[in-house]
Structure 1
Amino acid sequence: MDHSQLFIFVCTLLITSSCSRLTNPSMNMPFAQNAGLNTVWHNNASLLHNNHTYDDFLMRVILHATTTVRSGDSSLDDFPSFACGFYCAEPATTCHTYIFSIVFVNVYISIDDGVSLYSPEVVWVANRDHPVGENATVQFTELGDLVLHDADGTLVWSTSTADKSIVSMNLTGSGNLVLLDRTNVEVWRSFDLPTDTLIIAQTLQMGQKLVARTSLTNWTEGNFYLTTLADGMYAFAGIHTPLAYYRSPTGGNVATNRSAYVALKNGSLEVFTSFRETEAPDYRIMLPVHPFGLVFARLEWDGHMRLYQWANDSWASSDIFDITDPCAYPLACGEYGICLHGQCTCPDLVVGQSGLFELVDSREVNRGCSLKSSLSCGSARKARFLAVPNVTHFNFVYNWTTNEEHCKQSCLNDCSCKASFFHHKDTSSGFCFLASDAFSMISVSAQSYSSDFISFCFIKIQDSTHKSLLSKETRIFISVAGPLSFVTSVIVAALIILRRNKAEPLEDEYSIDQLPGLPTRFSFTDLKSATGDFSRKIGAGGFGSVFEGQIDDKHVAIKRLDGIGQGKREFLAEVQTIGSINHIHLVRLIGFCAEKTHRLLVYEYMPSGSLDKWIFQNRQAAPLDWETRLKIISDVAKGLAYLHSDCRQTIAHLDIKPENILLDEMFTAKISDFGLAKLIDHEQSSVMTRLRGTLGYLAPEWLTSVITEKVDVYSFGVVIMEILCGRRNLDYSQPEENRHLISMLQDKAKSDQFMDLIDPCFVDMELHMNDVLRMMNLATWCLQVDYHRRPSMPMVVKILEGTMDVETELDFDLVNIDPMVVANRAAQRNTVTLQIDSVLSGPR
């Protein structure tokens, strides 16, 4: 036997020996690249996994793609290849949460040690916003549906392919998890549902996004995403009002092109915005790719797009974006940081008022700054501004033309606003931008503008001048007893505290019997246990996070409120209002917790999540069909009609938007989050209230602060259009002329071209054209600028039930807002009204 034959024999022996270890004892089947129907994998030690603690990660493998083998003295050392399975979403030593993932991982096969995994890089995740625990299962069902269940049986994720004649599953050598039918055609592909990574041979089509994670250790969706538009590749910061910070320098025909895409190929990242016979890209970023092609590109949590390639037994990365200015990234200096020529500092140091901010990490100044006194809506302490001159934003998109004082006051009235930017030639008129995200700021010199142009950022900070009753008593005592020693002063101050605590009942001694009709009261310990110590996070909003939980036999969603600034009495009064209403299309409040500083709300669990996930995110294998969309519209209308007409007092919700519309397993829609709700006596025609609501959904009359329940009708009209068109009302990722959906509706309504607004992906809507046009006319009626001309919600229900017709004499000037606020028609298309988050429950 010659040397070559001996080597082949040894390789075969080693592979056979190693493969005997690659088994799942619970299924008694070999570890493989393919899987057949009715296969179940359990997330426990029965799956192949790495056992070494120094790996600092844990992965349990389900499928492993074919790899190229090279020889070694005592082992077969594989290049990184693809594996699919349960990946620990936290440090392996304390792992409680897992994500179902595809991972680029190096597999080391040794005669002595068996299989070792190292250098993992996650390239695709199914359940990034809903990690699962130990003993969760992945099942390839008999009907051809790939489903992920948590250990308690909760459905977490599915390919929704049960009716597609699927017969097998395969993890390809390129890292694509595919489901195949009987003719071997790929019916479902993970490549079509990207997360934050683009792999060789994968393309990013128009409408698809790479969404960065929140941080290095948090896999949930963050504030940055990359997408392909008709005129090139864009990167955006922000989710609800995204602003572009990068664009590939390409042309492209925006009006007609629907086939642009981005591809990562050996040697380049290529952007196609039009097709020619040569299929040459419009823009190419040349990349030094490893000859074996082991490469991927990922949008990182900090907004950078990085190329990863395997070299010298480790991953090396390099930036892809050709952004030459280091300050042009939204998080160049972290949150609140000010960037000048790549150097970072905190805002208070720039203006000489130290003590307001502190560095997140003193060793890494570019990690950003944090407020020493956190902002709290509704707090007894008032907010004020720190004025920082000569700074701007990475992408200044002004909300309106106004004066400096109005710009500042608008931010004060907007709970979500963290800073207002004002660019002007004089204080009587300028451009105002309200920033709800604390991205980095960019320091600019006077030469950046004309000599008479001024730029300011007004950063909202908590006013520290608020004095408590205790401090007043202490000051009086100290002024009278000045000659006494410092020690005596401290003793007397302590006695004052004890006396006040004895004279006034503790907050927890407040009797809830004074508020009858409250739902079930839970202790904080009960809810902490029900959520597994708040480990199963399923959502977050401006005032807290939502966790999945189990109370007895009830599956619940528990919202933990943070920094709401409310006393217990006010909180209980709002809970009493929510608990007193009950309707099939309102999310039911099961209970609450008001213990010391803890404020929690317990809701019924809605397994299909919020509506925005289904109409905006493009995550599903297929969009919602027309019947489902129409049912959701009808359900929301019935819930609002109940609030407006069938309660003891009219309840104006004031924050109707897709995030606050939840769906059960049958896609029945229910309205949630009543933290902004306002009670209106039936004999009242209107009520005065401060501005509240969310960007893009507020009726024009909010400018006067005199509102009726008809503001909900207006918001409902916006939601109808978003459901029909599959996009947000305000979308800064669109070309300028398409950013405001209601402005587009106004133009199309006047020319009777409603159907131009429908996403061409919604094929079945073309089969129901008459119904779709009827819904657009209903939306137009709800969006009338004069609220007297809008229908009531009971009238809307009758229209949806077919017992009443839509008004035909409509005003198509739908964005005719007060000219004092909006300077001109161009600015009008970009207008976004003010936003204030919910005090009680907040947006999801």
Structure 2
Amino acid sequence: MRFSANARTGNKTLLTSWRSSSDPSVGNFSAGINPLGIPELFMWYNGHSFWRSGPWCGQNFIGIPGMYTSVYLHGITLQDEGDGTFTLSSIQDPAYHLTYVLTSHGKFTEQYWDYGKQGWEYTSEVPSTECDLYGKCGPFGSCDAQNSPICTCLKGFVPKNQDEWNKGIWTRGCVRMTSLQCDRIQNGSEVGKEDGFMKLEMMKVPTFAEYWPYLSSVQECKDECLKNCSCVACSYYNGFGCMAWTGNLIDIQKFSEGGTDLNIRLAYTELDTWRSVSYNFSVSGNKRNVKVIISMSVIVGAIAIFICVFFSWKWMAKHRERKLISEETLSFKTREAQETVFDGNLPENVREVKLEPLFKLQILETATNNFDISKKLGQGGFGAVYRGKLPDGQEIAVKRLSRTSGQGREEFMNEVAVISKLQHRNLVILLGCCVEGEEMMLVYEYMPNKSLDAFLFDSLRKGQLDWKRRFNIINGICRGLLYLHRDSRLRIIHRDLKPSNILLDHELNPKISDFGIARISGGNEVNTTRVVGTFGFMSPEYLMEGRFSEKSDVFSFGVLLLEIVSGRRNAHFYGNEHALSLIGFVCLSATLPEIYAWKLWNEGDITALVDPAISDPCFQVEIFRCIQIGLLCVQELAKDRPAVSTISSMLNSEIVDLPPPKKPAFVERQSSLDTESITQNQKINSINNVTISDLNG
């Protein structure tokens, strides 16, 4: 049997597990080759990296201890087909009968046929220890199954979050204590001596290595790494060559046998400290005099404590300095922040943008085929969105901010500040960002079904949204909004709730996205002179007076709910004789004394509003109830609109009797306009779904 993977096309042949030992349907685990960089054998759990073999060195995988023994040399082989395709094959030698099984419990096992016993015998399985699990100790953390605790930071690094680390939560990993020489030059601080390397022996090297085959010795490998500011580690494997790493070092493990030497790049101060302490300990160990041993131990301990305190203080000082530089350079205080959107009662950390985790530009370029047009998902005022795939197989959506968009930069900073602090099943997940030179990008989880409008307003695809799915979407949006308004530690007003900002996952579950113009509220109504949002979804008090609150999002939710029920866009309600928007806000050339939904409600003909695709008598009561809730949400006065918590109770019939809705917004304004203009313009079907970027009087 052959596994294959193509680095150019991304096509893979995978081995998949059963769902259980008795159920042969497709399970949660899959295994195959990751061809990016140096090929490795990977195991994935529901698409997420679960285990890896380490790089293929020509005869074996470096990250599987004991694989250098003869049985493995006959077992499998990995070939480069020359067109970007790598193929992993099982043995052809009839003397060996081996089989490889991926179990439903996530074990990749090797079995051989025992001719004497006439049965299959296990020889090995992976993962075999907790340290084999991918990224167990996070970036720059090393795992050793023989130690307790199993995770430690590499020399020269400290836990990113000490409290979590002490509790055994290691996934956030470690951070460097002292900057490398290139960073010191860039920051304008004292340059000092050249960096050096700390050698770790018998290691499982990190994931995603770069291969430098033209180097023929350990020293050449180190010298080349020092010339490259991005290089943070290197390794020379005899018979194979030089491997190097940039970015975070992930999935490092200490073996009791096998593996290879890993050279970690450190600042000269960290390197000298490590060497001197090691030397002092070795001298002490050779002494037989107990007094000398005790004296040296005390001295070394005192020096170590002093060094730790000193560098911790230095790291904290530098960390504070970087925050200030980041705030000044990236100008996070937007005009709206100056208008007291961020009031003085908010937590201090809200005022600072934490750009973590950071993605390397090179990684995102590779993931999106250098932002190829075929990977483009959409375009907005901020720039383009591209589909990509990370080296571990995870699919992502990359929002690439336009270099010429001033407002795009504000959206970038605002979205990082807001959504990075939010976690909810109905909010899109921000995986990280990238800031290199002029490039500014946001990396999200990829939503395979794109946005709600792609289904709702497509005559061919809307049939997939039956009423049960639509009601699930409505409920999901409501839950996400409730989290923003009430349940998160920050109170968020989204300000741009609309179908194109509702993403759908593979099961058509909704996730609210695009927090570029969202604002943190202290709980009261906020005033602004800069109105941003989308026509047709903005509440009257916000559009006309610049006042927004949670009830502004409720208004937008009401419009959205009525769109989901009707299957028509807000600005697409055109009859044979009249042009009407869903709630009444139409282009100024089209005016009527009543608005469509309100008119049908009063006439008792609400059935005409319902999308024929969901016109099922079985669900009529529930559909009509949703229409009434939608009309309650779009009432003229903010105080008349229900809170999201109340809407949730209404949707779930916890509140049985709903109050009658009052006239929706813009009715009186429209009725005061000249109706003759309708006749003159009734054939002009203006489609107004423009997002306001900036309005200044």
Same fold flag (TM > 0.5): no
Q: Which has the larger radius of gyration?
A: 2
TM-score normalised to structure 1 length: 0.37
Which has the larger share of helix? 2
TM-score normalised to structure 2 length: 0.45
Which has the larger share of strand? 1
